[in-house]
Amino acid sequence: MSMGAVRIEVVRGDLTLERTDAIVNAANSSLLGGGGVDGAIHAAAGPALLAECRELRRTTLPAGLAVGQAVATGAGRLPARWVIHTVGPNAHRGETDPALLASCFTRSLDVAAELGARSVAFPAVSAGVYGWDVRDVAAIAVQAVRTWADGASSGRVTRAGVEPATGPDLVRFVLFSDDALAAFTAACSPQA
């Protein structure tokens, strides 16, 4: 599916094998690894990723990364060039604001644009152990990407004027299950 200058793809697969410029890690606020997608990315990337995350914690993010925010590191042994870490809201802790979840996707795309990444692969942030229904995640994620793409295609308004359109031209949702694939496919349909 194409939205302006940004093409959206939905596939079932292993995020750690993606050859996009950047992959997005559904991280926890510590940035030091965890379970699910986070654990798989850290395991596949090797010690260089953990070392970069520790350095971020030591320097710019001593309290960790806030929910809805994003930060980039190198990708270690992964085929991607960068890992963009974002912390999704945890429904089990009462973090159920859709705007926080949407921010995970838009802030990750902002970081990707700052890096010069032309392609980004996302997991279903917060749909795993954080307890969000995958259909809600799909709807929020796809709408966030569409909204971001609309802003990117027309340029971003700054104090200095309108910046030219920049950022990824491919967003791929790489999903872990048939249910997630179906939810994201439905969210991307023209009727959605």
Q: CB of 2 within 8 A of CB of 170?
A: no
Longest dimension (CA), the chain: 47
What contacts 92, CB < 8 A, 6 or more positions away?
130, 131
Whole-Å CA distances, 56 to 44, 113, 118, 120: 20, 20, 24, 22
Q: What pLDDT digit, counting tens, does each position of 80-109 carry?
A: 999 999 999 999 999 999 999 999 999 999
Domains and CATH numbers, the chain: 2-188 (3.40.220.10)
pLDDT category of residue 190 using cuts at 50, 70 and 90: confident
Q: Which of 21, 38, 110, 169 is catalytic?
A: 38
pTM over 0.85: yes
Place 158 in a pLDDT band, splitting at 50, 70 and 90.
very low
- Judge whether 97 counts as a catalytic residue: no
Q: Average pLDDT of the chain?
A: 91
User: CA torsion angle for 85, 90, 93, 99 (degrees, to 10)?
Assistant: 100
Whether the CB-CB separation of 27 and 34 falls below 8 Å is answered with yes
Distance, in Å, from the CA atom of 90 to the CA atom of 114, rounded to the nearest integer, reads 27
